[in-house]
Amino acid sequence: MRFNTTMPKGLKPHYHKELDAYRKKLNKGYFQEAWHHLERAHILGQPYPYEHSEAHWLMLRFGIKIKDWKEIRGQLLRLFVGGVKSFVGKVPVGNTGGANVPPLLPMEIPEDLQQIMNNYKV
């Protein structure tokens, strides 16, 4: 069994770029675009417990901000189990992390993110 604990240093800037874009769009009130970047950050961070949990924490806060009770409930569940699944390497690859998709559904990874992830054996 492979344990994931730390995101590779080269992958971190890509993850943080998506989080920065999320925050910029959120601050301007562009919620749909903000969410898109948060989903992309989730995909990049999903294999790593800290980043995976951080993405779900931000998704929970987003759900609270827009008063989306389905998202809030979904993120509470995901916060409880997401980091543990990352630690043991059992995540549904490509899942965007929102309550609008089943939590265990593997999904296709956007091509640009897949190319980035290929460089770090994710």
| pLDDT at residue 3 tops 70 | no
CB-based contact 40:16 (threshold 8 Å): no
Q: What is the pTM of this model?
A: 0.92
pLDDT given at position 34: 98
Q: Once rounded to an integer, what is the mean pLDDT over residues 91-105?
A: 92
Count the Cβ atoms, other than its own, within 10 Å of residue 13.
10
Work out the number of other CB atoms within 10 angstroms of the CB of residue 98: 21
The string of pLDDT tens digits covering residues 86-95 is: 766 778 899 9
Residue 102 has φ and ψ, to the nearest 5°, of -60, 135
Q: What is the DSSP letter of 50?
A: H
Q: What is the model's pLDDT at position 35?
A: 98
Please enumerate in sequence order all residues whose Cβ is within 8 A of that of 52, keeping only pairs 6 or more positions apart, or say none: 42, 45, 46, 82, 83, 85, 86, 91
- pLDDT confidence bin for 104, thresholds 50/70/90: confident
Look at residue 82 in the predicted model and tell me its pLDDT. Answer: 73
* CA–CA gap between residue 4 and residue 63 (Å, rounded): 28
Domain ranges of the chain: 12-118
Residues 81-86 have a mean pLDDT of 74
Burial readout 78-88 (b: 16 or more C-beta within 10 A, e: otherwise): bbeebbebbbe
pLDDT per residue as tens digits for the range 39-81:
999 999 999 989 999 999 999 999 999 999 999 999 999 998 7
Could you tell me what percent of the chain has a pLDDT over 70? 93
Mean predicted lDDT score pLDDT of the chain:
92
